[in-house]
Structure 1
Amino acid sequence: MISKIADGAIVCAGRVYCDLIFTGLTELPRLGEETYAKDLAVEPGGGGFITAANLSALGHKTSLLASMPGGPFGSAILEKMERSGVDLSLSPFDMANGAQVTAVIGCQEDRAFLTKRNGAAIPKDMLTAFSTSSAKHLHIGELATLQEVPELLEIAKANGMTVSLDCSWDQNCLLSNDIKSLIARVDVFLPNEMEARHLGYLDNPDLCPTLTVVKKGKAGATALTSDGEITIAADPVEVIDTTGAGDAFNAGFLSFWLRGADIKTCLQEGNKCGAAAVTRIGGAP
């Protein structure tokens, strides 16, 4: 039985990954050599879920629309996901689903990822259920999901929702000819600094087709608006793990943007959530 999404909820879409987070490294592994991590954690990952969990912690009704990893990888993270307060009825767990895993290699204040995707980003029957939603906002956690399921935009706009989009580095997506036309159809685009530079938005902000918020890690964030740039620096914190910090930032920014707050306030709140995320293992609270 699929439960009805709560009126006015925020739906976050995008694949869920089982994150294997290796921390305590002083350098990244090199070919032909072996590197040893100090610690290993297993956490639910994927931009859709991490943003949803942070929005839930901020008091919002949230629902996840996602393909879940199967087998032991899904079982390893399901209990933590269920404790998040996020409605998972549009993201059914199926043991038969294939592996969907990310190895996160944390080194000092940055990290590298190795990821295995599996199957469709959104289960087809769950997309149909979403089409009857009375949610107020759709957040798409990765560009690859939007490129694979562009009808997400059609459904959201037909139902009067606003839409936000994270990038989540994927070079094939960023090189696609249609990518900027897809970005132009969302209300808020939330890339990190590397992604924004790759798209040419940092060198020429006039190219930004919509409100674009560039996440810059410990340097804070910059909003590229029709009235110019607004930058808010982040307060320094002790960094434990940067996994999901950008997705946590999204939650803080969107929480206040959806309430009609000014951009400066939205950036400040995004920075707070991003800073809190790097002080723990994994991006979800």
Structure 2
Amino acid sequence: MSAGGVLCAGRLYCDLVFTGLDRLPTLGTETFADGLGLYAGGGAFITAAYLAALGRPASLAATLPADPFRALVQADLARFGVGADLCRAAPEGSDPQITVAMTTAQDRAFLTRASGPALPRLGPDQMAAPGLRHLHIGELRTLADNPWLLEVARKAGLSVSLDCGWEDDLPDKAGALIAGVDLFLPNDAEAQRFLDQGIALGGPMLTVIKRGAAGAVALKGTDQWEAAGHPARTVDTTGAGDAFNGGFLDRWLAGAPVPDCLEAGNRCGAAAVAAVGGTGGISGLRDARPVPVASGV
């Protein structure tokens, strides 16, 4: 792995994505989809796939979904150039880790089965692999269940970023967990839940709030930056925030100014929503990689 590599840690699913719904299902009724696709999913994987598409080495630490979905997911990891040396098979007898995603033109809903550990226990030697520079954690719950990730990453000299992911109830000590990272990447609904519970954002760490078509805003101390969203025809919003993470992280690790990082994130998010599946928009990025920069943040 060359300098600047990213290890993404988090739940790995097989995504069953239903598209073209006129409305989301309600109790006692049935609705029909125009399309269905099966893809490797989960925030950590999608972010890693976008990083790899942008030319930055990316690998994944995760538990593979149980059969019959493991082979499909492993094939997607290989196809998108995401390293899988730190992925492990699910424990014997585990339920498959699956997310059913249902999307309309205006909204989306997810039904997920998370089974067993999100990832294997990693040692300092694995975090200190040559060329590895950064740890990205795909969801707050993974960090809450594996708080050792921060200590091991710091011992290895890695910077750390964290996405949020939806939680009906925030994990205990959520504020302390996010205060331990360098970069926090919630969407606007997730950020509002923190504020509603009296947890301040935008302190010494950099907080980036993703707002979908409205773009994104970054906060750090008294500083604030904003970037408008990219116009896009929305086909499927699955993984758009994780795609944003990939674009933002690629530029942030290159030392680009925050507005440039926001722009890159928005570009990846727009590509994601224009195609089916969390990684469907990657083909639109192949010929549009940004030029490396040397300026500071």
With the length of structure 2 as denominator, give the TM-score of the two structures.
0.88
* Secondary structure class of the residue paired with 1:270: helix
**Residues 58-73 of structure 1: matches in 2 within 5 Å?**
58-73=54-69
Partners of 1:23 and 1:40 within 8 A in 2: yes
Alignment-derived partner of residue 291 in structure 2: none
* Secondary structure class of the residue paired with 1:234: coil
Instruction: State the Cα distance separating 1:78 from its structure 2 match.
Output: 2.2
Alignment-derived partner of residue 241 in structure 1: 236
Instruction: State the Cα distance separating 1:48 from its structure 2 match.
Output: 0.5
Tell me whether 86-95 or 41-50 shows the greater mean CA deviation.
Answer: 86-95
Alignment-derived partner of residue 179 in structure 2: 184
In structure 2, relative to structure 1, the CA distance for the partners of 1:67 and 1:115 (3 Å cut) is same
Partners of 1:50 and 1:109 lie apart in 2 by 22
Partners of 1:17 and 1:94 lie apart in 2 by 11
Partners of 2:248 and 2:261 within 8 A in 1: yes
Alignment-derived partner of residue 133 in structure 2: 136
Instruction: State the Cα distance separating 1:133 from its structure 2 match.
Output: 2.9
Partners of 2:20 and 2:33 within 8 A in 1: yes
In structure 2, relative to structure 1, the CA distance for the partners of 1:201 and 1:273 (3 Å cut) is farther
The correspondence for 2:153, drawn from 147, 153, 156, is 156
* Secondary structure class of the residue paired with 2:157: coil
Matched residues, percent identical?
46
In structure 2, relative to structure 1, the CA distance for the partners of 1:184 and 1:35 (3 Å cut) is same
Q: Does 1:41 align with 2:59?
A: no
**Residues 63-102 of structure 1: matches in 2 within 5 Å?**
63-93=59-89, 96=92, 97-102=94-99
Tell me whether 5-14 or 268-277 shows the greater mean CA deviation.
Answer: 5-14
Partners of 1:15 and 1:54 lie apart in 2 by 17
**Residues 1-285 of structure 1: matches in 2 within 5 Å?**
8-93=4-89, 96=92, 97-124=94-121, 126-127=122-123, 130-134=126-130, 135-172=132-169, 174=170, 176-200=171-195, 208=203, 210-284=205-279, 285=282
Partners of 2:247 and 2:3 lie apart in 1 by 21
In structure 2, relative to structure 1, the CA distance for the partners of 1:222 and 1:163 (3 Å cut) is same
Partners of 1:71 and 1:95 within 8 A in 2: no
Partners of 2:63 and 2:90 within 8 A in 1: no
CA-atom RMSD in angstroms: 2.1
1:33 corresponds to which letter in structure 2? T
1:146 corresponds to which letter in structure 2? L
In structure 2, relative to structure 1, the CA distance for the partners of 1:206 and 1:188 (3 Å cut) is closer
Partners of 1:20 and 1:225 lie apart in 2 by 37
In structure 2, relative to structure 1, the CA distance for the partners of 1:207 and 1:87 (3 Å cut) is closer
* Secondary structure class of the residue paired with 1:86: coil
With the length of structure 1 as denominator, give the TM-score of the two structures.
0.91
1:162 corresponds to which letter in structure 2? S
Partners of 1:39 and 1:71 lie apart in 2 by 23
Partners of 2:204 and 2:221 within 8 A in 1: no
Instruction: State the Cα distance separating 1:224 from its structure 2 match.
Output: 1.3
2:42 corresponds to which letter in structure 1? G
Gaps of 5+ in 1: none
Instruction: State the Cα distance separating 1:262 from its structure 2 match.
Output: 0.7
1:129-163 deviations in Å (ceiling 9; x for gaps): 63443410000001111001011100111111000
Partners of 1:12 and 1:49 within 8 A in 2: yes
Partners of 2:202 and 2:6 lie apart in 1 by 28
* Number of aligned residues: 278
In structure 2, relative to structure 1, the CA distance for the partners of 1:166 and 1:187 (3 Å cut) is same
In structure 2, relative to structure 1, the CA distance for the partners of 1:129 and 1:281 (3 Å cut) is farther
Partners of 1:109 and 1:242 within 8 A in 2: no
